[in-house]
Structure 1
């Protein structure tokens, strides 16, 4: 496992092992790709510079080899390797992207290359690039492509197992993160609902208190009105009673005066008409 991780971290162990391969047709294809002595010499010179870690100079040799034979798969593969080795020292402000350029070359070789072994190594290196970018799903797919080309490639098989485990862990982490986000979201929703419920309850209590206050005020007004009406009725009854008493008194006075007049008239008649 440690050996495989070291292999992946270096990105291109496969490239170093393939630098000396001469371009040729796959076993299933009888066509022989063209090659020249000058091309082969340039590739050898590039390989020597590559082993000395003089990757920029090696790149120049591989490009010259491609000028001799543009379809040279060995030169293309080794050019991609030299570009990847330079990616760590590339100026990000220069506009150059060695990894991108190398990946395009490797994809071309993996898809259209005549040399099955070389195509498998191209997919292998693409898998390493994907792995180092934490694209474990892409790495798994690319290592599988590599093994379809080279079923006996133990490094590709070992890296495939590592990438699969990394992918499982990545997916588990993503699921855990999603579960955590869902949990946090649910908690936030619950808190918001609780706050809303409290606000609704507070508003309901406030409305109820206002209704009670209004009802109490109305009851007080009604009580005051009733008391006023009762007072008015009492005053009216008193007036009626008083008036009745006054009327009764006046009647009594009239009756008494009438009786006095009658008595006086009787006495006067007795005096004027003696027996």
Structure 2
């Protein structure tokens, strides 16, 4: 036999009344009951609302309205109606309202299990409390006992789901933080690398500037040396002139004898350029 979990959610049969204290609402309740049996739950709910309007303290009108709303899937509104029916002095009616409240809370929790798991867990726990109350009021209520055991199992499954979701969220947060830390570290490394690159570029530019300054200084030095040589060359013709002017008459004659005439020496001297070359010839 298959172990199929089927929750018993059928509400207790509608209640009928002939109580004279609710005579003004009796007609609407009877009409509502007829519509309910025809599964015209919206129309039945309207008639029960009329009965509640006429007799706000009618426990039967509230209970039957809760039944019709439950069938429509309006579990939150059904809970309100069943809760108001608890004001009854009829213990049998109270036990039935408690059982139907438990069913309504379970169904409402099931609707939000996927969208709001914490709300669903809260509704399941409240349903268990009402099932327990129904069992306490009527020990032989097998339906309430069965549903209590079933909802306990469903609650455990839901709580395990919630724990796993929390673990996943924590894991995702850790992963996001690790990713952020890596990105920050990468940005820091990139920034450090860029700074080092900037320093290298600045250093290279400085070296080029220093090299350029050295090249400019060198030619100035050479020019100074050239000027020195020029000065040296300039001094020698001056010395050579003195040597020429300081010759004795005998040396002058010897030169004239060697070249034949005085003008030749002057021409040669003028054309030979630096006197040092001529002096070496001597």
For 1:204 and 1:227, the matched residues in 2 are separated by 35
The residue aligned with 1:79 is: 65
Checking the alignment, whether the CA contact within 8 Å between 1:49 and 1:58 is kept in structure 2 is yes
Partner of 1:36: 20
> What's the TM-score once normalised by structure 1's chain length?
0.66
Q: How many residues are paired up?
A: 236
Matched, 1:122 2:97: yes
Q: Quote the Cα distance in structure 2 between the aligned partners of 1:230 and 1:61.
A: 115
Deviation at 1:225, TM superposition (A): 1.2
Which of 131, 134, 138 matches 2:106? Answer: 131
- Rg comparison, structure with higher value: 2
1:71 counterpart SS class: coil
User: Which of 131, 144, 156 is matched with 2:144 structurally?
Assistant: 156
RMSD value over aligned CA atoms? 3.9
Q: Deviations over 1:124-158 (max 9, x none)?
A: 21221222222342232243135335412443233
Q: Deviations over 1:91-133 (max 9, x none)?
A: xxxxxxx5444322211123x3323343232232122122222
Partner of 2:12: 15
Question: What's the offset of the Cα at 1:38?
Answer: 8.2
Q: 1:22: how far off?
A: 6.8
Paired residue secondary structure (1:15): coil
Residues 195-243 of structure 1 show CA distances to partners (whole Å, capped at 9, x for unaligned) of: 3433443343233223212311221221121122122112202311331
Question: Structure 1 regions of 5+ residues with no counterpart?
Answer: 24-34, 89-97, 265-275
TM-score, structure 2 as length reference = 0.64
Q: Is the 8 A contact 2:60 2:85 kept in 1?
A: no
In structure 1, what is the equivalent of residue 88 of structure 2?
113
Contact 1:45 1:61 in 2 (8 A): yes
- The structural deviation recorded for 1:254 is 1.5
Matched, 1:190 2:150: no
**8 Å Cα contact 1:66/1:76 also seen in 2:** yes
* Residues 230, 140 of structure 1: alpha-carbon distance in 2 compared, 3 angstrom cutoff: same
2:79 matches 1:103: yes
Matched, 1:5 2:6: yes
> Are the counterparts in 2 of residues 15 and 121 from structure 1 also a CA contact under 8 Å?
yes
* Distance in 2 of aligned mates of 1:4 and 1:78: 28
Unaligned runs of 5+ in 2: 111-119, 253-282
Aligned CA distance change for structure 1 residues 196 and 118 (closer, same or farther; 3 Å): same
Which of 129, 136, 144 is the aligned partner of 2:129?
144
Once structures 1 and 2 are overlaid, which stretch shifts more, 193-202 or 231-240? Answer: 193-202
CA 1:196–1:38: 2 relative to 1, 3 Å? closer
* 1:155-198 CA-partner distances (Å, limit 9, x unpaired): 32332332233223223222322322332343334334433433
Output the CA distance in 2 between the equivalents of 1:185 and 1:164: 31
| Alignment of structure 1 residues 179-218 onto 2, 5 Å | 179-218=167-206
